[in-house]
Amino acid sequence: MATTAAPAGGARSGAGPEWGGFEENIQGGGSAVIDMENMDDTSGSSFEDMGELHQRLREEEVDADAAAAEEEDGEFLGMKGFKGQLSRQVADQMWQAGKRQASRAFSLYANIDILRPYFDVEPAQVRSRLLESMIPVKMVSFPQKIAGELYGPLMLVFTLVAILLHGMKTSDTIIREGTLMGTAIGTCFGYWLGVSSFIYFLAYLCNAQITMLQMLALLGYGLFGHCIVLFITYNIHLHALFYLFWLLVGGLSTLRMVAVLVSRTVGPTQRLLLCGTLAALHMLFLLYLHFAYHKVVEGILDTLEGPNIPPMQRVPRDIPAALPAARLSATVLNATAKAVAVTLQSH
């Protein structure tokens, strides 16, 4: 009995220093931001208290199991009891090693400190960069500076998502599979990340001096123009106004991005390829956002129910004084929307 008890005690005390070492390893290693074992979280209902409680309960359970197993083993020959102890010790050590590895991996990937330098901005800087994104630079002979930050672009993408949601709700867009929010987020983030990667790949082919972070920042700030145009035209449904804004505001932000890229690329063919692609994608995206998510319900109604319903009922929620202009724009919209309605119905 005494011989079987000693290894069990040894196993338990062996686990003790290992457990303590594991704790030191976590607290000393790195400045993980999302660390669940953060001891300075001075809160009453804290996670580490529950963690401690679970650990205590588990240890009690393990002790109870060990005691029960000991009693069982003690009934048989000493050899079988010894094997049981050995297997338990091995299992215990494997568990500790696995837990240590998992925790290290968690603190490595959940360490968002690697993103911290890209969020080191002041409100004045963000404001000035937003305004600069609408002003094309004239000097293209030397490389223009691009601020490598992610706060502005990320907030602009989220703003675009919110505006898109607003536009989709006002037009009662019917999304058959998926949700409005999923579509909006997928579209905006997909554009930002996808087109940035594509243009970065083209820039790599064309030997342009731009990093991925700079491309993300450039395209992100270029979405500021899109936000303005969509915010205005989702509320004032005049198509002439939209085309004017598309050319003016969209064109300005595209020109700015193009000028920056031209200043960082050498060779006329490369410049044409890179800037032409970016300009086309950027302008077409704005066109797509306006027509795909805005007032398509009129086109669908028209194709479904035919001309029996008088056009007055399908006029959008407009300022009453602009009613004749809205009717005109509604007919223009129906003509264009019929083409898109087919594609949208197939979604």
Partner 1 sequence: MAKAAESSGDPGTTTPRPLMRDLKAVGKKFMHVLYPRKSNTLLRDWDLWGPLILCVTLALMLQRSSVDSEKDGGPQFAEVFVIVWFGAVTITLNSKLLGGNISFFQSLCVLGYCILPLTVAMLVCRLVLLAEPGPVNFMVRLFVVIVMFAWSIVASTAFLADSQPPNRKALAIYPVFLFYFVISWMILTFTPQ
Amino acid, single-letter form, for residue 8: A
347/172 Cα distance (integer angstroms): 15
- Written as six digits, the tokens of 111 are 């360490």
Q: Give least dist CB 177 to partner 1, A.
A: 9
Quick one: 81 exposed, middle or buried, by C-beta within 10 A (0-12, 13-18, 19+)?
A: buried
Q: Are 185 and 249 in contact (CB under 8 A)?
A: no
- Cβ closer to partner 1: 138 or 176? 176
72/69 Cα distance (integer angstroms): 5
Q: Are 3 and 78 in contact (CB under 8 A)?
A: yes
Q: Give least dist CB 199 to partner 1, A.
A: 25
75/87 Cα distance (integer angstroms): 18
Q: Give least dist CB 115 to partner 1, A.
A: 6
Q: Which residue ranges make up the site for partner 1 (CB under 8 A)?
A: 33-34, 38, 41-47, 49-50, 53, 112, 115-116, 118-123, 126, 151, 154-155, 158-159, 162, 165-166, 169-170, 174, 176, 178-182
Rounded (5°) CA angle 224-228-229: 115
- Cβ closer to partner 1: 115 or 266? 115
- Cβ closer to partner 1: 119 or 288? 119
Q: Give least dist CB 211 to partner 1, A.
A: 20
- Cβ closer to partner 1: 75 or 177? 177
Q: Give least dist CB 320 to partner 1, A.
A: 12
- Cβ closer to partner 1: 44 or 307? 44
